Chain A
Amino acid sequence: MKTAMQIDADHIVTIVVAEQYSPYPMGRDNDDGKYNGTKFRQRFLIPSLTDDNITQVNVDLNGLALTGSSFLEESFGGLVREGLSKEQIDKLNIITNRQDLIIEITDYIETAWKERNQMQPDSE
């Protein structure tokens, strides 16, 4: 697993999940396996999304043998639960030849936002 991220001249980072993490990412946390969503989020997504020098984070999902909801939800919906701002999460750019995955990930993020907003107390 390579965690070093290359930032290009346009301040864009590209994470090829199948090559840099695993072609078999699976589950939410360490109980589910080594290449789980929490680990991916914390090692790859959060460092790049919270880096002010990075303007866009490409996440390339092509070549994955598994695209389970538990991994995807934990990786991307978990960004909202982890407390990242909308501006930080908006840096995400999903690259995949499967349109359904983009819809699925977008849904996870939007659902997590709704849940986060419901949990916050009303402002005075």
Chain B
Amino acid sequence: MPAKNRIILTAPPKLCVYDPDAMCDTFEFFNEMLNQAVLNRNRTHLDLSNVKKMTAGAALRLFAEVSAAQMATKMGEIITVTAPSAPHLANRFVDTGLTAALKPGTVGKLQRLWATDSDFKSGTNPADCIIPTREILKRNHQTPPEPLITAISEAMLNTTQHAYREYEQVQSELEGRWWQYCFVHDNMLNFLISDFGLGVPESLRKNSVMPDAAPLLTQPIMEDKDLIAYAMKKGVSRLGGRGRGQGSEDMKRPALRSNDNLLIISGNGQYLFSAGDDVPQLKTLPFSIRGTFIEWSLEMSQ
């Protein structure tokens, strides 16, 4: 039961970051939570009891949004959550460790999560987190593919190096922070990682050190999806500098076999790289997300 004197926000029945219609409802829900808890400092209760469907991406973003709000306000109790009533979702909340991840707390809670079985983690130090992340992958897949571990390490480095650069409004507790979730479903190994940085498109727009990008960036309307696709080309780096810009190849390498996918959402752009496609599928979404969301879905038999 929610405590008294809290703003109660009721979640939509479907929390999803993939389906465009549900995505709007989902991110409007998150934004309202941000308005109430972070901007207005209102003690807020998220009522998820009527949620009937919740995708993995939405679960990760919920974890990220709640814990980011807790840290930004330095008020661990600022947000409380009622889990979905639907038994399959209620069980999954507990089994995956999402319940523990959503508990009241701030940085210490996120640090302690690394010592638990929760599939939801958050970190700021890639070198410290990559070994336990490999162990999490091994829990889900006896021999996790090395290219995936490498890709995750590069994504973590990207977050600490790029994501929050030039993002003046970021709270120090959030700087360089990512949130991650790993699970297996339908013989697919899925790894999701997200941050609240500037985002790939905005970061590219702010960066003028890439000579090849000049014609692209000066076009009057350059959509986010195109900028993500540009960023995923070999040799493109938001930092500039010789030898940089190789990480996009690392990101794609785990998804080079049929049925494997790499999904990136940033701003309102969506980039889907599938091994079977000649070119990545690009889409403009109806909602612009903060930061970046990345998901690898890899067939387990490999």
B117-157 Cβ-contact flags toward A at 8 Å (1 or 0) = 00000000111001100100000000000100110011001
Report how far A39 CA is from B159 CA in the complex, Å: 22
The answer to whether B246 and A67 touch across the interface, beta carbons within 8 angstroms, is no
The answer to whether B157 and A32 touch across the interface, beta carbons within 8 angstroms, is yes
B243 partner, pick from A35, A64, A112, beta carbons under 8 A: A112
Interface size on A, residues (CB 8 A): 24
A31 partner residues in chain B, CB cutoff 8 A:
160-161
Interface size class of B (residues with CB under 8 A): 20 to 34
Q: How far is the CB of B131 from chain A (nearest CB, A)?
A: 6
B250 partner, pick from A68, A108, A112, beta carbons under 8 A: A68
A68 partner, pick from B131, B154, B160, B161, beta carbons under 8 A: B154
The answer to whether A81 and B146 touch across the interface, beta carbons within 8 angstroms, is no
Report how far A115 CA is from B235 CA in the complex, Å: 13
The answer to whether B247 and A69 touch across the interface, beta carbons within 8 angstroms, is yes
A115 partner residues in chain B, CB cutoff 8 A:
242-243
Chain A, residue nearest B147 (CB): A67
A64 partner residues in chain B, CB cutoff 8 A:
146
Report how far A74 CA is from B125 CA in the complex, Å: 19
Which B residues are within 8 Å of any A CB, using their own CB?
A: 125-127, 130-131, 134, 146, 149-150, 153-154, 157, 160-161, 242-244, 246-247, 249-250
18 contacts between A and B (CB under 8 A): A24-B127, A24-B131, A26-B127, A27-B127, A31-B160, A33-B125, A33-B127, A66-B130, A66-B149, A66-B150, A66-B153, A67-B150, A68-B153, A73-B243, A73-B244, A74-B243, A112-B243, A115-B242
